[in-house]
Amino acid sequence: MKPKIKYVIFDMDGTLIDSMRLWDELDENFLKGYGITPPPNLTDELRTLSFFETGEYFVNHFPLPLTAQEVTEKIREMVADAYLHEIPAKEGVLELLHTLKQKGISLCVATATETPLALQALNRLKLLPFFNFILSCDDVKKSKDDPCIYESAMERLGGNKENTLIVEDALHCMETAKSAGFRVAAIWDLSAEKAGDIPDIQKLSDYYFTDYAQLLAKVDELF
C-alpha cells in the first residue's frame, strides 16, 4: 500500500488556471503578426518551453526581425493582461486547496510561466496564500523535459518521492515526472483532449481526474 501524500506540487497553466487556450493561440497569433504562417505542429514544439526558450526557438526557426530577448518581451506583453485580468481558475480548485491545507498538506507550484506573472495570476484568483512557494522553469534553468523543477520543489517542501504528488495536465510533463519516480495525478484539460493525449495520460498517470470534484472525493483516501 502506498504511503499517504503529505506534499503536492501543482503545475499552474491548465492545472490550477484555465489558460491553455491562451497559450495554444498566442504563439500562432504572434507569428501571424509578422506575416508568417505557423506550422501545424507549433503547439507541440513549444509546449515544454519557457518564455526565453520560446524566443530562441522563434528566432532560430522563423525569419523574424527580432532577437530572442525581444520576442520574449513581446510575448510577455501579450500574456500579461490576460493573466492580470481574464484567466479564470479551474473549476473546483479553490475548494480542493482549502481542504488540503486544512489537512496539513504542504503545497507549491512548479510552472513554466515566469514567476512574476504566476504570482500575479494566482494572487488575483485568491489561490496564492495556499502555496508555500512558486518555482518556475526559469528559476532552475531547465524546462519540464527535465525533472529538476519537480525535484527542487520536492526538496524545498521537505518531501520525498513516496509522499509527494505531482498534479499536471500535460502528457509530456507527466512523462518527465513518472520517469523520475514521482506519483502523478492527471487533471483533464481541453488542450490535452485536442492533442489526443487523454488515452496516454490515463495509462501513464497514477490517478486520473476529469475535474477537481473527483479529486476532492478521493482526498481522505490519498492524503
Tell me the domains of the chain and their CATH numbers. Answer: 7-18+88-222 (3.40.50.1000), 20-85 (1.10.150)
Predicted local confidence at residue 174, as pLDDT: 97
Would you state the pLDDT for residue 48? 67
The pLDDT assigned to 56 comes to 92
Q: How many residues does the chain have?
A: 223
Give pLDDT tens digits along the chain (223 positions).
Answer: 788 999 999 999 999 999 887 877 888 888 899 999 988 888 777 776 777 788 899 999 999 999 999 998 888 888 888 888 999 999 999 999 999 999 999 999 999 988 999 999 999 999 999 999 999 998 999 989 999 999 999 999 999 999 999 999 999 999 999 999 999 999 999 989 988 999 999 999 999 999 999 999 999 999 9
Q: Taking a C-beta distance cutoff of 8 angstroms, is the pair 138, 115 a contact?
A: yes
Q: Would you say 211 and 91 are in contact if contact means Cβ atoms under 8 Å apart?
A: yes
pLDDT of residue 103: 96
Q: Are 13 and 111 in contact (CB under 8 A)?
A: yes
Query: Rounded to an integer, what distance in angstroms lies between the CA atom of residue 35 and that of residue 48?
Result: 25
| 71 vs 69: CA distance, rounded Å | 5
Per-residue confidence (pLDDT) for residue 181, from 0 to 100: 97
Closest by CA to 52, choosing from 139, 122, 133, is 139
- Of the candidates 66, 78, 97, 90, which has an alpha carbon nearest to the alpha carbon of residue 26? 78
Determine which helix (DSSP H) or strand (DSSP E) holds 30, and give its type and residue range: helix 20-32
